[in-house]
Amino acid sequence: MCVSEMISFFMSMCWIYLLCEIIVTLLELIGVITGLPSSFLGLTILSWGNSLGDHFASISISKSGFGEMAITGCMAGPVFNLMLGLGLTTMVCNLRNPDGIEFDIKGSEGQSSFFTVLATLLVAAFLAFVVFVNDFKIDYKYSKYLIGIYAISILLIAIVTLL
């Protein structure tokens, strides 16, 4: 890899970081203006925007006949974010605060985070069950169930967060 490619890669990472900071700041501003909790904005606007590129890529890959690759991509992105993103974030936070990270489950934001984790586990368990029972095939009807579980989860989390 030549020097100009390394500089280009580094600069693209800097731009991505800068744009992410701007987006998070704008979401915080929306939260202040509307009074919506940051966890709810992260659960909806931020997550939808974060997943939009993956969504279109998965559709394109599926239409090209690579359904297995599309499903793997859908699962691999969040797994990467959870393991590396959350792992690094937790490590940095724990280096700054040796007592550890406090997770307040009693507040509305803590409850929405808790229910988000539960919904994620429910969907993962449902997918694992469907895939194993159907000899690693996902039928059309199961996609309706997944969308339904997501819609119900978002609705319940919104109720818990906003009340």
Q: pLDDT of 60-109, one tens digit each?
A: 888 888 888 887 887 787 788 878 888 888 888 888 887 877 766 666 56
Whole-angstrom distance, CA of residue 18 vs CA of residue 25: 11
Nearest to residue 46, comparing CAs of 73, 26, 65?
26
Structure tokens at 51: 């997943």
Phi, psi of 40, deg, nearest 5: -70, -40
Give pTM, 2 decimals: 0.66
- pLDDT computed for residue 103 by the predictor: 67
- Residue-wise pLDDT tens digits, 18-68: 988 898 888 889 888 988 877 778 778 888 887 888 888 888 888 888 888
Residue 23's contacts (CB-CB under 8 Å, 6 or more residues apart) are 46, 49
CB atoms within 10 A of CB 108: 15
